[in-house]
Amino acid sequence: MAPLIDRSNQREAMVTRQIAGRGIRDPHVLNAMRHLPRETFVADGFEEFACEDRPLPIGHDQRISQPYIVALMVEAAEIRPGDSVLEIGAGSGYAAAVLGHIVDSVHTVERHEQLAETARENLAKAGADNVEIHVGDGTLGWPDAAPYDAILVAAGGPSVPASLKRQLKPGGRLVIPVGEGEEDSPQRLRKLVRTGADAWDDADIGGVRFVPLIGAQGWTEDGRRSASNHVPGQNSGKSLPQMIADAADPLPDIDDPEFGADFDRYADKRVVLLGEASHGTSEFYRARAAITRHLIENHGFTIVAAATEWGGDMEVKEVRPSRGDSFERVCHDADVPQFLLDLKRDDAVRRRLTEQKLERFIGVIYRPETELQSHYAAASLAQQFDAWVWFDETRAITPLDTDKTRDGVPDTYPFGL
């Protein structure tokens, strides 16, 4: 077993700079976050990043919120010793541990059985023995222990679930993200205070970005709104890889003239930027050439590209299988050998691919021994790209002999002018 690393100084810096430094003043919140070992609640390999001000993946398309957002929500909920508290979306257990550091007991509902078990293990390691985790539909709350002084929801719903509102005590506070997280419907963090049997004050705290709240009074698995007058809607029951397979346009061979024609849909754009996640594959260079040639010859595009010379001899390396919590894995599981996925065409797929996952970026240098730290980063496909081209299997390029360079051409030939 690796020796435990004392990260108390990192936590103190986290609280001072990221939390207190951004306006959080509640001493209960600041004290809890100083003492709780946040590194216990992140995925293996991410411990050194635990105190950074960013969300981190924890599996099952979920992530642990950045420290500031946890602090903001707990402070907004006005948690005090003696309060009865319900959390929706246990995740890795960190926010529940923060709550449990302030109050005597916390109930939290998590819809993923495996994630709930991981949260239990994390809480036990952190010594938080006053959190009870239930597996179920969080949009329905947890009536058995209601009413609550405060309810915090760690996922964004299309609206505020009526079940949660009804489970508040008079004067109770509900903090929840609401909205799709798209440009036309951004998520807003809202705070509701129950002022009567059927009356609530509603305040807007600010813009946020959370994973979707899935359930009978939230979103369905395929990204559609489940609730209509709080009546559960239809759920397609499809996994994300199945949704991608249905929405994807299979691509012909790169040498087929129809390959470039599949990109005619972008002919009316002023700029088309072609990027790659894996540098040095034959498929990327051939596909880029085919797309570029088609847009220039058929739609009047003009393109100037430049390349930078890198030293060192080329090596052909075997790339490790993708991580289970990555976009690469869900595309592989779609079981379509090569495809074009138009991220603006299918709203349900776009919403699902807005959720952050890990994406692997392999540049000129590949270090498999430090792959998680060197090559993976959190990404949101639908927010970063208009389309995604996928090749399930790729081959290394064959380097040209530098002695064969033609006289009189620039170093950046054939991509530069």
Q: CA-to-CA distance for 116 and 135, rounded, in angstroms?
A: 7
Quick one: pLDDT at residue 181? 64
| pTM as predicted | 0.60
Q: Which CATH architecture has domain 240-403?
A: 3-Layer(aba) Sandwich (3.40)
Active-site option among 65, 84, 226, 326: 65
Domain boundaries, the chain: 8-232, 240-403
Quick one: pLDDT at residue 346? 81
Q: Is 169 exposed, middle or buried (0-12, 13-18, 19+ CB in 10 A)?
A: middle
Q: Is 65 a catalytic residue?
A: yes
Residue 228 structure tokens: 């209509």
Q: CA-to-CA distance for 128 and 85, rounded, in angstroms?
A: 15
Q: Is 330 exposed, middle or buried (0-12, 13-18, 19+ CB in 10 A)?
A: buried
Quick one: pLDDT at residue 401? 61
Quick one: pLDDT at residue 305? 43
Query: How many residues does this entry show for the chain?
Result: 417
Q: Scanning the structure block, which residue is given the tokens 């594959």? A: 281
Quick one: pLDDT at residue 360? 87
Q: Which residues of 362-401 are buried (b: 16+ CB within 10 A; e: fewer)?
A: beeebeeeebeebbbeebbbbeebebbbbbeeeeebeeee
Q: What is the pLDDT along the chain (417 residues), one digit of tens a residue?
A: 344 677 889 999 999 999 999 999 999 999 999 999 999 998 888 888 888 888 887 866 678 889 999 999 999 999 999 999 999 999 999 999 999 999 999 999 999 999 999 999 999 999 999 999 999 999 999 999 999 999 999 999 989 999 999 999 999 999 999 987 665 567 899 999 999 988 999 999 999 888 889 999 998 876 666 543 333 333 345 778 888 888 899 999 999 988 989 899 888 888 888 877 766 688 888 898 898 888 888 888 875 443 334 455 667 777 888 888 889 988 999 999 999 999 888 877 887 888 878 888 887 677 888 888 888 888 888 888 889 999 988 887 776 565 555 666 655 555 444
Q: CA-to-CA distance for 11 and 36, rounded, in angstroms?
A: 8
Quick one: pLDDT at residue 408? 65
Quick one: pLDDT at residue 182? 62
Q: Which CATH architecture has domain 8-232?
A: 3-Layer(aba) Sandwich (3.40)
In 3D space, the residue among 264, 396, 289, 255 whose CA is nearest the CA of residue 340 turns out to be: 264
In 3D space, the residue among 290, 306, 284, 414 whose CA is nearest the CA of residue 361 turns out to be: 284
